[in-house]
Structure 1
Amino acid sequence: MRKLISTNGLSNEEWLRYRKQGIGGSDAGAICGLNPYVSPMSVFYDKTNEEIETYDNESMRQGRDLEEYVACRFAEETGLKVRRSNAIYQNEKYPFMQANVDRLISGKNMGLECKTASAYNADKWVGDSVPAHYEIQCHHYMAVTGAEAWYLAVLIMGREFKYKRIDRDEELIRNLISIEKEFWEEHVLTGNMPDPDGSEISNEVINRYFPAAVKMSVPLPSYLNEQLKRREEIIHLAKKLEQEQNQIEQKIKLFMGEYEEAFNEHYKVSWSNVDTVRIDSKRLKEERPDLYRDFSKSSQSRRLTIKAA
């Protein structure tokens, strides 16, 4: 590996610009289709768009603030010494592969990735299991740095602290390099958007590219006919499955009657009271048009409608 840039004194905007120059550890799982929160299409958008997004939320803030705590707990549990690297690294042979690692382990050819998770996601860390996109992230770092192993440590809020050693897997790393190389060369460098994966994230990316429609028509290519036909079949199947689901739930409701809960050794069912308050917008518009106007919010989106000819 080689050092691309020191992160000491680097502003957040400068750091984000350097991230656009290559594929980072958090991108790797998304490119492989393993990240439930990021799609290949959204990674492509990030790498090819000049806009610098500085999105942040409380969960991200806590993750940054607790990184040092996780690193200290790891050192305490293992007896290993860890240090900050304060740099963005590149793989010399594949310079599009970047690594901005949390910690390196002193005296060993290893590193540490620090994570935090809510108690609601504790099931993803049961036993020896870890989320797949985090494991890929660690192998990406090993591919960039040449490390022989990488540790993944997690603080599950209010529950427990745990860590796992992930040993270098040469075959997996070769496959990962191949996937990332293809993504970078066939998509990012050429501007050829990857195929959508059906996720809501991909929907958001498409809407960013094409936010408004122009009043024009375009011929529909015949190669899409099979996919449109399959879409009709899926809609029909989904309706049948939804009806079957409703039928099962109706039988359970009839069994429960006025009781709120039912349970056995396998399931716990709750059919409880829920109070809902909604604004009567029609009445508000008629009786208080001034309030309706002041508190109404206008937005524009695009609706996809498909009809058989």
Structure 2
Amino acid sequence: MSKSTLEMTHDEWLLDRRRGIGGSDVSTILGLNKWKSAYQLWLEKTGQVELDHTNSEPAYWGNVLEEVVAKEFQERTGLKVRRRNQVFEHPLHPFLRANIDRDVVGEKAILECKTANQYLAKEWEGDEIPISYLCQVQHYMNVMNYDHAYIAVLIGGQKFIWKRIERDQKLIDMITERLVEFWETNIIEGVEPPIDGSKAASDFLNERYSEEGKEEVRLPESFDELIRYRDEMKESEKIIKEEIAQLENRIKSEMGKRDAVIGITPKYVITWKSVSSNRLNKKLLTEKYPEAANDPGIYQISISKRMTIKEIG
């Protein structure tokens, strides 16, 4: 089953995405997306936050270069691809959706077009494919009932790679189980997913609740246990950090004794050298340019909310 996207405006397309789980949602639900947490996705799908109608710079250029990547794939492989301006739905779970980049003519296969910056080149070396993209195309093969997929990527605007991916039914079953659970439990039943400790979740909460609160509230007793567990974790973190520092100091001590800048073991190369960084010397600035140092206009003020916890009594 499918529906056309040709007549949809961008806003209508965004709203339609709330009605199911698409390929770009898969990595978020599986906890593989460092930019968004499952909690954020739940808020979006349940209409509790406004949809972001703006495209990020990487997303914009990804859309612009999609046609370039598809054409280059045809040139290098001799295969033909075509657009399918439709949203496809899984026959048993219609909320599982696929909005594919291209269909491969004459094969039960899709082509997914990607762009990546040069710093991510290692993620594509050899047979490697970023796990989030692998799960995305397996999800598409599941929805479309396809045998295999191709993924093509333009890295840093100057290196082109394409790879064939076979259907992995075991992985598909694992992914589908988690997606169905998320939709039926969190979306249909409205159960709030747990907030994880990712940077994406932290940044989102700080942005969403950036305004100062006004109330003093009583939290349930369960939060006492949560805070005790947090304190235990922080104590463990302190011990681990000290142990890491001890191990690193042993390495530094040995290299220092040998006047070494590079140390080589059978498996590792260690460098211990100076790194320079520029920092504003506030004391010198005040001495030489007191008027400028006291000008509040040169300081950029940033306000953030800080959580502190103190034991009562």
Q: Deviations over 1:87-145 (max 9, x none)?
A: 22222432222221111111222111111222222222222121111111112112222
Matched residue of 2:295: which SS? helix
In structure 2, the residue matched to 1:25 is 23
Going from structure 1 to structure 2, the CA distance change for 1:138 and 1:273 (only over 3 Å counts) comes to closer
2:278 corresponds to which of 276, 279, 283: 276
Matched residue of 2:182: which SS? helix
Unaligned runs of 5+ in 2: none
Q: Deviations over 1:146-185 (max 9, x none)?
A: 2222212222226743222222233433333332222122
Q: Please tell me the residue identity of whatever aligns with 1:25.
A: G
Going from structure 1 to structure 2, the CA distance change for 1:143 and 1:279 (only over 3 Å counts) comes to farther
In structure 2, the residue matched to 1:10 is 8
Q: Give the whole-Å Cα distance in 2 for the aligned partners of 1:15 and 1:52.
A: 11
Q: Deviations over 1:37-84 (max 9, x none)?
A: 332112112223351213433322332222222212222222210111
Identity between Structure 1 and Structure 2 (%): 34
TM-score, reference length from structure 1: 0.84
In structure 2, the residue matched to 1:191 is 190
Going from structure 1 to structure 2, the CA distance change for 1:21 and 1:274 (only over 3 Å counts) comes to same
Matched residue of 1:66: which SS? helix
Matched residue of 1:195: which SS? coil
Going from structure 1 to structure 2, the CA distance change for 1:197 and 1:160 (only over 3 Å counts) comes to same
In structure 2, the residue matched to 1:302 is 305
Q: Is contact 1:113-1:151 (8 Å) kept?
A: yes
Deviates more, 1:296-305 or 1:180-189: 296-305
In structure 2, the residue matched to 1:141 is 140
Q: Give the whole-Å Cα distance in 2 for the aligned partners of 1:273 and 1:297.
A: 26
Going from structure 1 to structure 2, the CA distance change for 1:249 and 1:190 (only over 3 Å counts) comes to same
Q: Please tell me the residue identity of whatever aligns with 1:305.
A: T
Q: Please tell me the residue identity of whatever aligns with 2:114.
A: K
Matched residue of 1:33: which SS? coil
Unaligned runs of 5+ in 1: none
In structure 2, the residue matched to 1:167 is 166
| Superposition pairs of residues 1-309 of structure 1, within 5 angstroms | 1-3=1-3, 5-6=4-5, 8-47=6-45, 48-157=47-156, 160-211=159-210, 212-221=212-221, 223-253=222-252, 255-256=255-256, 261-264=261-264, 266-278=268-280, 280=282, 287=291, 291-292=295-296, 294=297, 300-309=303-312
Q: Give the whole-Å Cα distance in 1 for the aligned partners of 2:113 and 2:54.
A: 20
